[in-house]
Amino acid sequence: MAKVILIRIQKIILVECCESVLVGGSFIDEYNEEDLAQIYHQNGTVVNGRPIYIGENDTYAIWFDGDSGTDADWTIGPLENLDDGKYTWGIMASNHDAECPVGNTIWDEAANGKFNQNPYILVTCNIPVAESTTTTTTTTTITTTTVALGM
């Protein structure tokens, strides 16, 4: 009896994405700007092989939808969609299969009942400015006056 041995080789490419990203730019729908324009931080978990970013308001997130080729998207939408496994449901989609959400030049934005290409949305690495340290020096001067009393 012949033995058949199947070996599965999986190529794993490790890419380091930014710890936090900033979503900004010019939105078609002003309500999208109010909700989505903020800083998002990786929360240490992965979905569909890519990191998840949670917005500072804990209501919106950025995640990869898990599709491939032309159907692949980074999605920005309500955190509840991610919790419900609705990976392809969001307010914005990148239409780009990238390891990280930054670098996409055109995002599709849900506005006026349909998705519209918006080349004015920016998703960039958020690099915090180092906090400056201010040193305050206080000088206390004590003046002693000696008065000689005549006797």
pLDDT digits (tens, 9 = 90+) for 82-119: 888 888 899 999 988 889 999 788 899 999 889 999 99
- pLDDT for 146: 53
Strand, helix or coil for residue 6: coil
- pLDDT for 124: 94
Rounded distance, CA 121 to CA 92, Å?
Answer: 10
Please return the burial class of 136, using the count of CB atoms within 10 Å of its CB with bins 0-12, 13-18 and 19+: exposed
Question: Percent of the chain scored above 70 by pLDDT?
Answer: 74
What number of CA atoms fall less than 13 Å from residue 65's CA on the CB side? Answer: 23
- Farthest-apart Cα atoms in the chain, separation: 128
Low-confidence ranges of the chain (pLDDT < 70): 1-15, 129-151
